[in-house]
């Protein structure tokens, strides 16, 4: 493995391991994105997946928010997309402007069209290269997060052929072909395992799994179709890293909309951190998970449109909330939004959000 510069800010990793920190580490989902003028400038010159596939460009974009918010932001996340796994499975994915699949999976017979054994080094080696280059370029300023999409969320994209409001096609599969669906979900999960292990080998210091559409499933169906694949991923990653004598890294699960499952996820899903959306009070989440996992989140991203006063009040409340139910201590909490930041936000308001977290999450 490459020797990297020593890490100078380990707040994120300490919080992810459940340690109390002097203040909450903070980063933002989709922090390298269209709200940044420097991102839009580079994006105007290059197609979305071209950036993902060109390590120099991916590194540059990953570093943009780190440069702009130096000293205020505590993590970087590699610039890529969850849809690189469907691409590795042999599917074509366009970004125009949202994701679209010209040839989605219509029936279980279409699964035969997918690549049988995905060699992640061959298909996704460009992500590993980007991670290694980014770790070097970061010079130890903050840790680097690797990620992948969760099987249910990827399955939904691969069948719907893009985003959806109703998920009719993906759910038709679940209810009409449950066994074939479970088999495909596990096949995707196996690729997730190899992809995440490869990211750690390349230099990722924490892994996050995005189950963005978890909340579209009933609690019963989440437990039946998504949860086993999330367990499979955490177990598989830990096993493979141990087999290869590679130190384990913390793992975060962001199962958006699945707050009903927080108790089960904290008990034995194998993740160190659970990401929260804004639909649960931090103190309530703390009560549910007890001290078993660290929490991440959870300000409604739209508060960033509300101006400085709204941002400050909400961050203050959020910090107080994460203190409650935990003996009045801030600890084992990673501040973030409850979902990705959106394109119209003013980067100066983001700076204010970060400053407010620093101010109000400091321990007493």
Residues identified as active-site: 30, 34, 43, 81, 157
In the complex, least distance from residue 52 CB atom to ligand CP3, rounded to whole angstroms = 8
> Which position among 71, 163, 178, 263 is part of the footprint of ligand CP3 (CB under 6 A)?
163
CB 41 within 8 A of CB 33: no
In the complex, least distance from residue 13 CB atom to ligand CP3, rounded to whole angstroms = 18
User: Is 207 an interacting residue with respect to ligand CP3 (CB under 6 A)?
Assistant: no
User: Is 31 an interacting residue with respect to ligand CP3 (CB under 6 A)?
Assistant: yes
> Which position among 98, 102, 247, 328 is part of the footprint of ligand CP3 (CB under 6 A)?
98
User: Is 79 an interacting residue with respect to ligand CP3 (CB under 6 A)?
Assistant: yes
Residue ranges of alpha helices (H) inside the chain are 11-16, 37-45, 48-53, 55-68, 84-88, 120-138, 151-160, 168-176, 178-202, 219-221, 227-243, 262-268, 282-289, 308-323, 347-360
CA distance linking residue 27 with residue 145, whole number of Å? 10
Question: Number of residues in contact with ligand CP3, rule: CB under 6 A?
Answer: 23
User: Is 68 an interacting residue with respect to ligand CP3 (CB under 6 A)?
Assistant: no
Residue 141 burial (CB count, 10 A): 19
User: Is 279 an interacting residue with respect to ligand CP3 (CB under 6 A)?
Assistant: no
CB 188 within 8 A of CB 207: no
In the complex, least distance from residue 360 CB atom to ligand CP3, rounded to whole angstroms = 24
CA distance linking residue 258 with residue 252, whole number of Å? 14
User: Is 93 an interacting residue with respect to ligand CP3 (CB under 6 A)?
Assistant: no
- CA 265 to each of CA 231, 255, 281: distance values in angstroms, whole numbers, following the listed order: 9, 9, 17
CA distance linking residue 176 with residue 288, whole number of Å? 34
Residues, the chain, total? 364
CB 355 within 8 A of CB 43: no
User: Is 200 an interacting residue with respect to ligand CP3 (CB under 6 A)?
Assistant: no
Q: Is 102 exposed, middle or buried (0-12, 13-18, 19+ CB in 10 A)?
A: exposed
> Which position among 13, 21, 33, 120 is part of the footprint of ligand CP3 (CB under 6 A)?
33
Site string for ligand CP3, 212-251 (x = CB under 6 A): x---------------------------------------
> Which position among 15, 32, 209, 345 is part of the footprint of ligand CP3 (CB under 6 A)?
32
CB closer to ligand CP3, 81 vs 281: 81
User: Is 167 an interacting residue with respect to ligand CP3 (CB under 6 A)?
Assistant: no
Q: Which region, judged by CB under 6 A, interacts with ligand CP3, from 75-83, 126-134, 194-202, 323-331?
A: 75-83
Radius of gyration of the chain, Cα coordinates, nearest whole angstrom: 19
Residues 116-145 touching ligand CP3, rule: CB under 6 A, are none
Coil, strand, or helix at residue 147? strand
Contacts with 188 (C-beta within 8 Å, 6 or more apart), sequence order: 85, 89, 151, 154, 155, 229
CB closer to ligand CP3, 145 vs 330: 145
In the complex, least distance from residue 276 CB atom to ligand CP3, rounded to whole angstroms = 14
User: Is 95 an interacting residue with respect to ligand CP3 (CB under 6 A)?
Assistant: yes
In the complex, least distance from residue 286 CB atom to ligand CP3, rounded to whole angstroms = 24
Please give the DSSP secondary-structure letter assigned to residue 6: P
Q: Six-digit token pair at 80?
A: 């890529």
- CA 141 to each of CA 126, 144, 156, 202, 245: distance values in angstroms, whole numbers, following the listed order: 23, 10, 36, 17, 26
In the complex, least distance from residue 245 CB atom to ligand CP3, rounded to whole angstroms = 29
In the complex, least distance from residue 364 CB atom to ligand CP3, rounded to whole angstroms = 32
Q: Six-digit token pair at 295?
A: 């929490």
User: Is 301 an interacting residue with respect to ligand CP3 (CB under 6 A)?
Assistant: no
User: Is 161 an interacting residue with respect to ligand CP3 (CB under 6 A)?
Assistant: no
Q: Which region, judged by CB under 6 A, interacts with ligand CP3, from 97-105, 113-121, 232-240, 290-298?
A: 97-105
Q: Which residues in this chain contact ligand CP3 in the complex, by CB under 6 A?
A: 29-34, 43, 48, 77, 79-83, 95, 97-99, 147, 163, 210, 212, 340
């Amino acid at each position: 493995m490459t020797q990297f510069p020593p890490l100078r800010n380990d707040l994120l990793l300490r919080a992810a391991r459940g340690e109390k920190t002097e203040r909450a580490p903070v980063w933002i989902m989709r922090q390298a994105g269209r709200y940044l003028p420097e991102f839009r400038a580079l994006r105007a010159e290059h197609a979305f997946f071209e950036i993902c596939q060109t390590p120099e460009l991916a590194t540059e974009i990953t570093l943009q928010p780190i440069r702009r918010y130096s000293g205020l932001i505590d993590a970087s996340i590699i610039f890529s997309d969850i849809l690189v796994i469907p691409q590795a499975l042999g599917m074509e994915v366009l970004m125009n402007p949202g994701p679209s699949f010209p040839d989605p999976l219509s029936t279980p017979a279409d699964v035969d069209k997918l690549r049988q054994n995905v060699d992640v080094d061959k298909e996704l080696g460009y992500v590993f290269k980007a991670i290694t280059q980014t770790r070097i370029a970061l010079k130890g300023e903050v840790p680097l997060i690797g990620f992948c999409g969760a099987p249910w969320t990827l399955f939904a994209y691969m069948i719907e052929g893009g985003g959806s409001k109703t998920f009719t096609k993906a759910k038709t599969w679940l209810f009409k072909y449950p066994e074939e669906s479970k088999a495909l979900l596990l096949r995707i999960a196996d690729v997730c395992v190899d992809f995440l292990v490869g990211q750690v080998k390349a230099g990722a210091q924490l892994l996050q799994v995005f189950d963005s559409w978890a909340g579209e499933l009933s609690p019963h169906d989440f437990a039946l179709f998504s949860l086993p694949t999330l367990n499979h991923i955490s177990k598989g990653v830990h096993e493979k890293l141990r087999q290869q004598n590679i130190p384990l890294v913390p793992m975060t699960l962001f199962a958006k909309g699945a707050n009903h499952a927080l108790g089960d996820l904290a008990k034995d899903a194998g993740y160190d951190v659970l990401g929260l959306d804004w639909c649960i009070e931090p103190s309530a989440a703390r009560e549910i998970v007890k001290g078993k996992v660290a929490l991440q989140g959870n300000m409604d991203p739209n508060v960033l449109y509300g101006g400085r006063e709204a941002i400050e009040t909400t961050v203050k409340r959020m910090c107080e909330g994460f203190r409650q139910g935990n003996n009045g201590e801030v600890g084992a909490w990673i501040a973030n939004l409850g979902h990705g930041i959106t394109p119209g936000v003013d980067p100066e308001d983001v700076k204010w959000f970060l400053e407010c977290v620093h101010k109000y999450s400091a321990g007493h």
